[in-house]
Chain A
Amino acid sequence: MKRVVVYAAVLALLGGLVLMTEPIVPDFQKLASFIPPTIGPYVSEADQTFDAETIFDYIDGAGEVYRSYNMKILVARRFHKDGKPDIVVDLFDMGSPEDAFGVFTHDLDGEDAEVGQGSNYKAGLLSFWKDRYFLSVYAEEETAETKGLVFELGRRIDGAIPGRGETPDLLRHLPAEGLDTGRVRFFHNHSVLNYHFFVADTNILLLDQKTDAVLADYGSKDDRSKVLMVAYEDGGSAAKAGVSFARAYMPEAAEKGIVKTENGKWTAVRVNDRYVVIVFDMIAERTAAARLDAVVALMNGRADRMQEE
């Protein structure tokens, strides 16, 4: 009898583990259920659905952006009313909150729309992220009416998505002082880095779909600097990337890891465990080193706390 109980406990535990590790399966029907069928006087047309392979059929080469954030599926629903500009909802299941947040940070221009877990609105386009979903609601022509309906659609979809997601852990290593919280980007690969901040025409930081990276702006428009953090799979990969970057970007100062660049500002790099941290366009050598110290201190402090736990 005792043995049976033990078996049952083991089975229950295994079952629990299976449930805990069950992969998220993208579900078109579930995704579509978040979008209302009508909005104001508009009615919706038949949904279009795409995955990472077929997305090019819908949005051409722009699909590469969503693929670079590991998109899983997309449901596109067009709302139509005769004589009015169409409104299009594109709802992406990105597979993880980190990538939903990341793809949202790809375009941060616009005013905060206070929808979802982060949003902006500009020129008829409302974008936001929530849980593992990224959403775009777009009016083909911005009018007072379409703007109101775009916001209403956004709020209704926000309300229909039940969960919330965590932002990438890497963001917690950004020093708060001077950080422009509206200019923090999360991404994985070299092309997206260069989209936001051209570093080099080749992949000198050895970025790929497995690397997580954050690019953050500091200071004001007249005194803008950047912090780039990349998390690699292990310390060896980070060390290799750090050397690659230093040799290509600061060949005259690769050993020292800090250099005054052609614009009179300072760039510095440091490898810390499985991370590479780079600061760009710092006004002085001293402040560049201090910013690196601040990032590393946050990383190590966090690592220490995790070890204690």
Chain B
Amino acid sequence: MMSRKPITRRDFLKVASVGPLAGVLVPAAARTGRSPLPRQAEEKVRVVLVRDPSPLGPGGAPPAEVVQRMLDDAVRALLGERDAVKAWKTLVRAEDVVGIKTNAWRYIPTTPEVEQAIKRRVMDAGVTEDRIAIDDQGVLRNPVFQKATALVNARPMRSHHWSGVGSLIKNYIMFVPRPADYHGDTCADLATLWDLPAVKGKTRLNVLVMFTPLFHGVGPHHYAKEYTWEYKGLIVSRDPVAADATGLRIIQAKRREFFGDDRPLQMTPHHIQLADTRHHLGVSDPNRIELVKLGFEEGILI
């Protein structure tokens, strides 16, 4: 059997001038033999970025009512509905059992404000509270998640010591008993998590929290407050790959701004690109993403 040609540093050098995502895009495109050029004829995927200038609270989130408004605005814009509850009713049905997959990382969690804003709208869509659960590390043992017919995926984006960035795609790693089984090639194939029976076809909405993203990490915990900033945003999409690719562009722009050069992430976040080109979970190419921007633009970086 012929093995494929490896992608080497020299391939990277050939395309280094293509742009800031070259290091991510080109190797992944070459792996699959697909062209990295945009497929213009295909429909674009919508991603909504909403930002609000309100001060953040001690937990790193804007006030609850502001978060609710941000989420509502984003979901309305995403689905083209004037009314937020009506929009949510197209996402979840009253008879659904809904798991809200959150992220409880000590330093930058999803935040209760985001969790509760999602839960409130799921309930407004007719789902009773006993059929809704919010969980992260306990999803495999959670009876609601075990019976879930719908999932809402919400987590912050941060740089990550092994996968490049902690992403929406990666947030489902708690649906396996041994997350380390997905660490190979620096988490290249995380998108396969989305084929697990507990997950497949159930995700109705993805919310990438960008209130205080981490753009660089140090030490065993890969965290230093110095490398976070108040971006005050949410990225919302039906497509987790498109949302992650958008968040990644912001993280990379912040790194360029902070470090003064195009410093690559410590680990290549190629799992986002491969989620598109290898696993067909969604769209990572910015040219195929329709980015809708809401709210204040200062320091938007994208």
Stretch at the interface among B35-43, B127-135, B222-230: B222-230
Decide if the interface of chain A is mainly helix, strand, loop or mixed: mixed
Residues in chain A within 8 A of chain B (CB atoms): 56, 59-66, 88, 90, 107, 109, 122-125, 127, 136, 138, 140-142, 191, 194-195, 197-202, 204, 248-249, 261-263, 280
Q: A125 is contacted by which of B107, B186, B224 (Cβ under 8 Å)?
A: B224
A88 to B107, CA, bound (A): 13
Contacting A at CB under 8 A, from B1-30, are 5-10, 12-14, 23, 27
Contact B6 A204 (CB under 8 A): yes
Contact B162 A62 (CB under 8 A): yes
CB-defined contacts of A56 to chain B, threshold 8 Å = 179-180
A86 to B160, CA, bound (A): 22
Q: How far is the CB of A91 from chain B (nearest CB, A)?
A: 10
Contact A261 B13 (CB under 8 A): yes
Question: 7 closest A-B pairs (Cβ-Cβ)?
Answer: A61-B162, A62-B161, A123-B224, A262-B13, A202-B6, A200-B8, A201-B7
Contact B179 A62 (CB under 8 A): no
Asked if B147 is at the interface (CB within 8 A of a chain A CB), the reply is no
Contact B10 A191 (CB under 8 A): no
Contact A122 B221 (CB under 8 A): no
Asked if B236 is at the interface (CB within 8 A of a chain A CB), the reply is no
Residues in chain B within 8 A of chain A (CB atoms): 5-10, 12-14, 23, 27, 31, 105, 107, 160-163, 179-180, 183, 185-187, 218-222, 224-227, 266-268
Contact A204 B14 (CB under 8 A): no
Query: Could you say which of A60, A194, A263 has the most chain B C-beta atoms within 10 Å of its C-beta?
Result: A60
Q: A204 is contacted by which of B8, B107, B162, B221 (Cβ under 8 Å)?
A: B8
Q: B6 is contacted by which of A61, A109, A123, A200 (Cβ under 8 Å)?
A: A200
Query: Could you say which of A123, A201, A280 has the most chain B C-beta atoms within 10 Å of its C-beta?
Result: A201
CB-defined contacts of B266 to chain A, threshold 8 Å = 195
A66 to B219, CA, bound (A): 11
CB-defined contacts of A64 to chain B, threshold 8 Å = 161-162, 180, 183
A63 to B161, CA, bound (A): 9
Contact A107 B219 (CB under 8 A): yes
Which chain B residue shows the least CB distance to A58? B220
* 19 residue pairs bridging A and B, Cβ less than 8 Å apart: A59-B161, A61-B179, A62-B160, A62-B162, A62-B220, A62-B221, A62-B222, A90-B219, A90-B221, A109-B218, A122-B218, A123-B218, A200-B6, A201-B6, A202-B6, A249-B10, A262-B10, A262-B13, A262-B14
